[in-house]
């Protein structure tokens, strides 16, 4: 996979993956950008024992020079976007208004230091990954070859960001649809390199450790085996991957994809597993698009092991879910979910799996 | 406080709090309602170690007889609502389409039994609390006397629901605004009696226990003391309550209210504390209404100790927050929050507190 890195006018890195453009250096960033500043703090919520990022510098966004109409389209003679080249396959660049990335000198302490109300600069990095130079494309209608370039970019970024000082976990994800808050329709995702292990991953690691201590087994392996045994929620089962609606799905339509061979992260996947993932994932996304009268808004989330700790027992997997429960009806995170973390789901996982299978 | 219970046509209980109607028995439910059924399951998510309620019977809602235009308004000669009387102060009734309330024989095991993919009938109860018979009122514009009746109803329901078999935690809350998914504009809240300790409360209890073991102190007491000492995020400080934007606020505008004297739940509050709560809370809600060009959507959440366990160290408190970060702009729970539980907040807690103080 060809990879070419350039530097944007304000100092941010931009990386082209794939064959286009053939001569990236011929397309410098011609915008008069001023380097941004990131003042994010990671503050510890002592009661929930988790970090929250306070990113108040992002409130200044409107004072920056206006962007082109779609900042993710290729640049043209008259429109200078985030991407200087006139065409590209897949592009990754540092977010211009990142949540993470304050100058940080040390990784965050976890468990916390002695004091309450503790904070640190929120280091790490936020990147944008653009899946296609076609503004009207979506991940679901990429070709396999194009999706394979995205997979290669996810792997590359996971390796590289894991090596940055202070980064504890790399998260590749996509928010699709205005219902999720995605303001740009150009097909793209994001990659966060967190300076801490995320709360959800921390909880999974605790469950996995407890299960190891109690049974000697691996919780991920045993949950996937139990799902395969019950079989009623399996949506797809390939040579390298299984996709199922989880037994205790939190969302109306939710699918988890696990490789048969447990590995901690994307870089550890075999070439064959990466290739089959693309096929199964594209098929799944197309089914999601057919669930309702219009394509479903969704969140697609790669769960990877932290950079340090828990790697022997973690299972890389993808969680794909929509917040839409019926045409025109959303699942809101209201008082029970947002207040107490207590989820209720009106669509039974077995029914959801049956519908997804039937949409073939 | 006067309290009168009647039985609705389908067998559900309805309770009038306050002086109106003076003769509740004169207003029987004249609707031809068929008793509903609740088939909710609580399923354990083994990786996150939490229960999710699968309430697929709620998908049938459209097959039920249509309700009056606003089911929470008083009934009239031509419109039969959920509330048979022609006027009322505060009403509580069992939700007609509840998430919780399947016939259950035993409380849920926590920690889980041996097996994976475990489920139980989701017992418990879901109630609706109507704050006023005025369709166009809101909590913020209730009188103090009216709000005091609501407080008395919360206390009554906390006591009574805690005594039901299998109930582990009682949660009084309000979802206000269509942005939160509230479909009825008539001022009302909800009361959930969960058959398990909610995930967020479980996490707080773990933090509190760890802190007790490490320091010998109470985490709630020390966090509140630290907030008072820093003082920059205090919004109101009374004889019995303190209100502050928490140091690691998850939401753009978020206020926590704690009584000075720590008690586990609403029934344990003194009369003086209950009375002052009403004043401070009404003032806060009115400030929330003035934050933006239109009244802020909000979630208001009473955190109470579980029925069993953790009661000595828990601090009853209210968490009030809006998902709106600026006029016309919402904070979405997208990939970072919904996928990883990792919150970012663009409004600094100190700025939020200053704005709330200035809105006096």
- A129-185 residue pLDDT tens: 999 999 999 999 999 999 999 999 999 999 999 999 999 999 999 999 999 988 899
Task: Name the residue facing A299 among B99, B330, B339 (closest C-beta).
Answer: B339
The arithmetic mean of pLDDT across residues B9-22, rounded, is 97
CATH architecture of A3-196: 2-Layer Sandwich (3.30)
The arithmetic mean of pLDDT across residues B221-235, rounded, is 97
The CA-based dihedral angle spanning residues A171, A176, A182, A183, taken in that order and rounded to the nearest 10 degrees: 130
- Distances from the Cα of A132 to the Cαs of A122, A155, A190, B94, B261, in angstroms? 30, 17, 14, 52, 59
Strands A125-130, B125-130: pairing is unpaired
pLDDT at residue B110, as a whole number: 55
Residues with Cβ within 8 Å of residue B48, at least 6 apart in sequence: A200, A203, A204, A207, B199
pLDDT at residue A196, as a whole number: 96
Please report residues of A whose CB lies closer than 8 A to that of B49.
203, 206-207, 210
- Test B248 with A43 for CB contact under 8 angstroms: yes
Cβ atoms of A161 and A168 within 8 Å: the answer is: no
pTM metric for this prediction? 0.95
pLDDT at residue B116, as a whole number: 93
- Test B51 with A117 for CB contact under 8 angstroms: no
* A25 three-class SS: helix
pLDDT at residue B181, as a whole number: 86
How would DSSP label each residue in B288-313? HHTSSSSPPPEEEEEE---SSSSTTT
pLDDT at residue A66, as a whole number: 53
- Test B117 with A192 for CB contact under 8 angstroms: no
Nearest residue of chain B to residue A100 (CA atoms): B344
How would DSSP label each residue in A60-127? GGGGSPPPPSSTTSBP-SS---SB-SS--SEEEEE-SS-SS----SSPPPSS--SSSS-EEE--SEEE
Nearest residue of chain A to residue B334 (CA atoms): A180
Q: Cis ω on the peptide bond leading into residue B21 (within 30° of 0)? A: yes
- Test B334 with A194 for CB contact under 8 angstroms: no
Nearest residue of chain A to residue B250 (CA atoms): A52
Please report which helix (H) or strand (E) contains residue B253, including its range: strand B253-259
Minimum distance, in Å, between the CA of residue A343 and any CA atom of chain B: 5
A351 pLDDT more than 90 = yes
The arithmetic mean of pLDDT across residues A111-123, rounded, is 79
Please report residues of B whose CB lies closer than 8 A to that of A53.
342-345
- Test A334 with B181 for CB contact under 8 angstroms: yes
pLDDT at residue A303, as a whole number: 98
Minimum distance, in Å, between the CA of residue A164 and any CA atom of chain B: 20
Rounded CA separation B329/A190 (Å): 21
The arithmetic mean of pLDDT across residues A107-116, rounded, is 63
pLDDT at residue B60, as a whole number: 56
Please report which helix (H) or strand (E) contains residue B145, including its range: helix B144-162
Rounded CA separation B168/B161 (Å): 9
B214 pLDDT more than 60 = yes
The burial of A26, by beta-carbon neighbours within 10 Å (0-12 exposed, 13-18 middle, 19 or more buried), is given as exposed
pLDDT at residue A300, as a whole number: 98
Average model confidence (pLDDT) across chain B: 93
Task: Name the residue facing A117 among B198, B211, B230 (closest C-beta).
Answer: B230
- Test B99 with A49 for CB contact under 8 angstroms: no
In the set B37, B57, B119, B188, the catalytic residue is: B188
- Test A190 with B59 for CB contact under 8 angstroms: no
Across the A/B interface, how many CB contacts are shorter than 8 Å?
A: 232
Q: Backbone dihedral region of B310: left (phi > 0), alpha (psi from -120 to 50 degrees) or beta?
A: left
Task: Name the residue facing A351 among B56, B58, B343 (closest C-beta).
Answer: B56
- Test B59 with A330 for CB contact under 8 angstroms: no
pLDDT at residue A64, as a whole number: 46
* Residues of A designated as active site: 188
To probe the interface with B, which of A116, A125, A331 has the most B CB atoms within 10 Å? A116
Strands B50-54, A343-345: pairing is parallel
Minimum distance, in Å, between the CA of residue B153 and any CA atom of chain A: 19
Cβ atoms of B174 and B189 within 8 Å: the answer is: yes
Residue whose pair of structure tokens reads 């897949």 in the numeric block: A90
Rounded CA separation A322/A283 (Å): 16
Strands B324-326, A119-121: pairing is unpaired
Listed by start position, the domains of chain B span 3-196, 201-358
Q: Do domains B3-196 and B201-358 have the same CATH topology?
A: yes
pLDDT at residue A338, as a whole number: 95
Please report residues of B whose CB lies closer than 8 A to that of A56.
346-348, 351
Minimum distance, in Å, between the CA of residue B37 and any CA atom of chain A: 14
pLDDT in tens, B163-213: 999 999 999 999 999 999 888 999 999 999 999 999 999 999 999 999 999
Residues in chain A: 360
Rounded CA separation A129/A148 (Å): 14
Rounded CA separation B196/B255 (Å): 26
pLDDT at residue A104, as a whole number: 73
Average model confidence (pLDDT) across chain A: 93
B306 pLDDT more than 50 = yes
Task: Name the residue facing B201 among A198, A247, A340 (closest C-beta).
Answer: A340
Please report residues of B whose CB lies closer than 8 A to that of A50.
341, 343
- Test A223 with B116 for CB contact under 8 angstroms: yes
Rounded CA separation B11/B170 (Å): 22
How sure is the predictor about A59, in pLDDT bands with cuts at 50, 70 and 90? Answer: low
- Test B52 with A249 for CB contact under 8 angstroms: yes
Task: Name the residue facing B346 among A58, A171, A334 (closest C-beta).
Answer: A58
Cβ atoms of B84 and B27 within 8 Å: the answer is: yes
Nearest residue of chain B to residue A43 (CA atoms): B248
Please report residues of B whose CB lies closer than 8 A to that of A220.
47
Residues with Cβ within 8 Å of residue B5, at least 6 apart in sequence: B13, B14, B15, B16
- Test B299 with A339 for CB contact under 8 angstroms: yes
- Test A344 with B55 for CB contact under 8 angstroms: yes
To probe the interface with B, which of A189, A215, A328, A338 has the most B CB atoms within 10 Å? A338
Residues with Cβ within 8 Å of residue A214, at least 6 apart in sequence: none
Cβ atoms of B282 and B140 within 8 Å: the answer is: yes
pLDDT in tens, B42-98: 999 999 999 999 998 876 554 444 556 899 999 999 999 999 999 999 999 999 999
Dihedrals phi, psi of A148, to nearest 5 degrees: -65, -30
pLDDT at residue A109, as a whole number: 58
pLDDT at residue B115, as a whole number: 84
pLDDT at residue A63, as a whole number: 42
ipTM attached to this prediction: 0.94
The arithmetic mean of pLDDT across residues A290-315, rounded, is 96
Minimum distance, in Å, between the CA of residue B201 and any CA atom of chain A: 7
Residues with Cβ within 8 Å of residue A335, at least 6 apart in sequence: B171, B173, B174, B175, B180, B190, B299, B300, B301
A39 pLDDT more than 70 = yes
How sure is the predictor about A251, in pLDDT bands with cuts at 50, 70 and 90? Answer: very high
A121-125, A200-204, A220-224: least confident range = A121-125
Please report residues of A whose CB lies closer than 8 A to that of B194.
340, 342
A24 pLDDT more than 90 = yes
Residue whose pair of structure tokens reads 């300790």 in the numeric block: B197
- Test B200 with A340 for CB contact under 8 angstroms: yes
Task: Name the residue facing A335 among B190, B336, B344 (closest C-beta).
Answer: B190
Class of domain A201-358: alpha beta
pLDDT at residue B227, as a whole number: 97
Rounded CA separation B156/B168 (Å): 16
């Amino acid at each position: 996979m060809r990879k070419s890195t350039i530097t944007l006018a304000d100092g941010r890195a931009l990386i082209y993956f794939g064959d286009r453009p053939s001569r990236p250096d011929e397309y410098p960033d011609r915008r008069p950008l001023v380097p941004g500043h990131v003042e994010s703090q990671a503050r510890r919520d002592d009661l929930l024992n988790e970090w929250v990022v306070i990113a108040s510098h992002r409130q200044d966004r409107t004072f920056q020079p206006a962007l082109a109409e779609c900042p993710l389209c290729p640049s043209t003679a008259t429109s200078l976007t985030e991407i200087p080249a006139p065409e590209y396959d897949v592009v990754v660049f540092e977010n211009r208004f990142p949540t993470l990335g304050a100058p940080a000198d040390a990784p965050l302490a976890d468990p916390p230091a002695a004091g309450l109300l503790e904070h640190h600069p929120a280091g790490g990095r936020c990147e944008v990954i653009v899946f296609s130079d076609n503004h009207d494309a979506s991940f679901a209608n990429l070709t396999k070859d194009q999706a394979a370039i995205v997979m290669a970019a996810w792997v590359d970024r996971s390796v590289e960001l894991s090596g940055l000082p202070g980064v504890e976990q790399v998260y590749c994800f996509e928010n699709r649809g205005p219902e999720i808050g995605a303001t740009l329709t150009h097909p793209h995702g994001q990659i966060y390199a967190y300076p801490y292990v995320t709360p959800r991953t921390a909880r999974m690691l605790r469950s996995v450790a407890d299960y190891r201590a109690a049974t000697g087994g691996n919780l991920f392996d045993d949950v996937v085996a139990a799902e395969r045994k019950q079989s009623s929620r399996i949506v797809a089962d390939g040579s390298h991957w299984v996709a199922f609606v989880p037994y205790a799905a939190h969302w109306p339509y939710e699918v988890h994809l696990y490789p048969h061979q447990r590995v901690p992260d994307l870089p550890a996947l075999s070439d064959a597993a990466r290739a089959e993932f693309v096929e199964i994932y594209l098929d799944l996304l197309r089914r999601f698009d057919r669930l309702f009268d219009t394509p479903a808004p969704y969140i697609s989330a790669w769960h990877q092991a932290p950079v340090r700790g828990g790697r022997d027992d973690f299972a890389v997997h993808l969680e794909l879910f929509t917040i839409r429960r019926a045409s025109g009806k959303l699942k809101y995170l209201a008082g029970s979910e947002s207040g107490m973390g207590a989820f209720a789901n009106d669509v039974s996982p077995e029914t959801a799996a049956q519908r997804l299978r039937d949409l073939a």
